[in-house]
Amino acid sequence: MLKISLRNSVAFVAFTSAAASFAQTTTPAPVASANVAASQTAPGTLTVQADQPGPVINRDIFGQFAEHLGTGIYGGVWVGKDSKIPNVRGVRSDVVGALKAIKVPVVRWPGGCFADEYHWRNGIGPASKRKVTVNSVWAGAVEPNTFGTHEFMDFAEQIGSDAYVSVNMGSGTVQEAAEWMEYMTAVPPATAAKERAANGRKAPYKVKYLGLGNEMWGCGGPNTPDEYVTKMKGFAHFVHNFNPEQAAPKVDFSLIAKDLMSGKPMDSLPSGPNSMMRIAAGPNSADPSYTEVIMKAWKTRSPIYWDINGISLHQYTWGSMPFNELATGFAEKDYATVLMQTTWMERSVKKHKEIMDKYDPKKHVALVVDEWGVWLKPKAGTEQMFLQQDQSLRDGIAAAMNINIFARHADRVRMTNIAQMVNVLQAMIVTEGPKMVLTPTYHVYKMYVPFQDATFLPITFNAGEYKVGNITLPQVDAIAAKGKDGKVWLSLTNLDPNKSAEFTAVVAGVTASSAAGEVLTAERIDSINTFETPRAVTPKPISFTAADGKLVFSLPPKSVTVVRLEP
């Protein structure tokens, strides 16, 4: 036990230092993002260039993260086949139903810090024979290993999501990771395929993303960037996906020979539409060191030997008291602080993009924000290391602001995974026994479904400022996109908790006589949904009409609105 509690404190120190180093590398935020012109004048204006489409907002930007942490998996997703809670093969049906409704595109699993201590062989085979281990990262909880590879893949398939599997680079070996991927993806006559079939799954699994370690500067190591790159090359080279549907087209040997002889490596090997993408564990918040070293190594690599398709960024919003910021009962200045810190995401994204552009102007490598969200004081009466927190309207607003940042940088940000999916940190869903409640963040994700794989449209707006003490933010944050349904969609967030936002909008390239959709707001900035009052923060219909050729908007205070333009 002593060993466990000591290890727990070490893990906690790692997160604390991540928070501290974030605080050190950040200074007060700029008041507005690049395409926002703040002004005091009202009513404001908003212009959308529907005739100048930008990049596609990859649906994977709306991805999730599910770690073996607290009740994130056990209780939250997995209740077991014999549970009285309705389930399909052990996966709870209410959670699956709710997640299907937000069209989760991708789930990252099994961690987090847990991934670098996870040994996949513990989680296959008959449940009764599985090893019981200790989750030494998260409160020394019992890890029954009843939720393993088959159960995760089944869960992902039940919700219609792709899989993002993070292999153990911390305490595992290249061989262990390579064998895991072989087990998941091989076809007969490979022995691994037979073993998988004997465990109940004949067809190979599809693994869309492969995570190469987690926070290798912290709980996954700690490693210097150079140490990480040295290790990572082996994992990137030797961990193969054998699923025939994910196979890359064969490379002409003469191309390989040319590449090897010329000393000028080719850009990348040919890949198929379903090829697995390798994601390197990248930077902590705004710290550029990992990005710089990984991208420099990538630039001079030969893709014959190793390659990556993404580099991850972890950035949480802590408020002014890391791990202790009140989740409810906070003051307006705390609300504004969290929203102001949310804008720091844009600064970090820009910083890492600049480095990536230097080495990879063609944008082969994606920036993958595979952990982000508001990290608050744990809920009273819960195990502190289970990271359960209440979630208010404020957090839903912060989610919308973050998604808007990712959409504005969709040329480089092609996947993100909010931390975490169920019961942990900024979760979509909270469960307790058979009960389930949807958080404000869940509702934001649902409202944003039309933005999945939509085409970003340039937007400028000028709707005044929201000021509290020494914090000044644009009053409105907005994005526009052309959905796959051919319609123009707007997401409009009014940050000000006291004033409605009034402005007119001009949309070049389409006729818009009205706009209709949903608005998410609530009585207070700290309103939360509970099992007793599950609809305190829930979307309501809203619509707007045009006058003199301009759409006239009035957004309620502290709200997120998503509307579709109608001719």
Active site residues: 215, 371
Helices of type H across 428-475? 440-447
Nearest to ligand AHR of 15, 155 (CB atom): 15
Contacts of 263 (CB under 8 A, 6+ apart): none
Interface with ligand AHR, residue 15, by CB under 6 A: yes
Considering only residues 43 through 72, tell me which ones interact with ligand AHR, judged by CB under 6 A. 67
The mark string for 19-38 relative to ligand AHR (x by CB under 6 A, - otherwise) is: --------------------
The mark string for 373-412 relative to ligand AHR (x by CB under 6 A, - otherwise) is: ----------------------------------------
Which candidate, 126, 269, 124, 248, places its Cα nearest to that of 192?
A: 124
- Of 54-62, 111-119, 256-264, 472-480, which part binds ligand AHR (CB under 6 A)? 111-119
Contacts of 296 (CB under 8 A, 6+ apart): 359
Token pair listed for 544: 């707007």
Q: Which long-range contacts (CB under 8 A, 24 or more apart) does 381-385 make?
A: 382/70, 383/70, 383/139, 384/139, 385/8, 385/12, 385/70, 385/138, 385/139
| Whether the Cβ atoms of residue 464 and residue 38 lie closer than 8 Å to each other | yes
Nearest to ligand AHR of 283, 464 (CB atom): 283
Options 110, 111, 396, 440; binder of ligand AHR; rule CB under 6 A: 111
| Whether the Cβ atoms of residue 85 and residue 498 lie closer than 8 Å to each other | no
Nearest to ligand AHR of 161, 214 (CB atom): 214
Quick check: helix, strand or coil at residue 412? coil
Considering only residues 318 through 377, tell me which ones interact with ligand AHR, judged by CB under 6 A. 371
Q: How far is the CB of 425 from ligand AHR (least distance, A)?
A: 6
Nearest to ligand AHR of 105, 213 (CB atom): 213
| Whether the Cβ atoms of residue 468 and residue 332 lie closer than 8 Å to each other | yes
Options 102, 366, 405, 419; binder of ligand AHR; rule CB under 6 A: 419
- Of 98-106, 107-115, 292-300, 320-328, which part binds ligand AHR (CB under 6 A)? 107-115
Q: How far is the CB of 69 from ligand AHR (least distance, A)?
A: 6
Task: Report how far residue 1's alpha carbon sits from residue 167's, in angstroms, rounded to the nearest whole number.
Answer: 27
Rg (alpha carbons) of the chain, rounded to whole number: 23
Nearest to ligand AHR of 183, 217 (CB atom): 217
DSSP state of 129: G
Considering only residues 145 through 164, tell me which ones interact with ligand AHR, judged by CB under 6 A. none
Q: How far is the CB of 540 from ligand AHR (least distance, A)?
A: 32
Nearest to ligand AHR of 112, 225 (CB atom): 112
Question: DSSP string covering 48-90, please?
Answer: EETTS---B--GGGGEEE--SSTTTTBTTTB--TT-SS-EETT
DSSP state of 252: P
Nearest to ligand AHR of 417, 529 (CB atom): 417
Options 8, 58, 214, 462; binder of ligand AHR; rule CB under 6 A: 214
| Whether the Cβ atoms of residue 78 and residue 184 lie closer than 8 Å to each other | no
Which candidate, 199, 192, 306, 186, places its Cα nearest to that of 246?
A: 186
Q: Which residues of 31-41 are buried (b: 16+ CB within 10 A; e: fewer)?
A: bbbeebebeee
Nearest to ligand AHR of 223, 246 (CB atom): 223
Query: Which three-class secondary structure string do you get for 314-376?
Result: EEEECCCCCCCCCCCCCCHHHHHHHHHHHCHHHHHHHHHHHHHHHHCCCCCCEEEEEEEEECC
Interface with ligand AHR, residue 192, by CB under 6 A: no
- Of 302-310, 376-384, 419-427, 493-501, which part binds ligand AHR (CB under 6 A)? 419-427
Options 60, 162, 215, 334; binder of ligand AHR; rule CB under 6 A: 215
Options 29, 61, 77, 113; binder of ligand AHR; rule CB under 6 A: 113
Q: How far is the CB of 35 from ligand AHR (least distance, A)?
A: 30
Pairing of strands 44-49, 501-508: parallel
Options 76, 110, 112, 450; binder of ligand AHR; rule CB under 6 A: 112
Query: Which H or E run contains 313?
Result: strand 310-317
Nearest to ligand AHR of 18, 339 (CB atom): 18
Query: Which H or E run contains 543?
Result: strand 540-547
Q: How far is the CB of 342 from ligand AHR (least distance, A)?
A: 17
- Of 324-332, 357-365, 418-426, 510-518, which part binds ligand AHR (CB under 6 A)? 418-426
Q: How far is the CB of 284 from ligand AHR (least distance, A)?
A: 9
Which candidate, 108, 104, 111, places its Cα nearest to that of 158?
A: 104
Q: How far is the CB of 424 from ligand AHR (least distance, A)?
A: 7
# chain residues binding ligand AHR, by CB under 6 A: 12
For ligand AHR, which residue has the nearest CB?
A: 112
Footprint on this chain of ligand AHR (rule: CB under 6 A): 15, 18, 67, 111-113, 214-215, 371, 419-420, 425
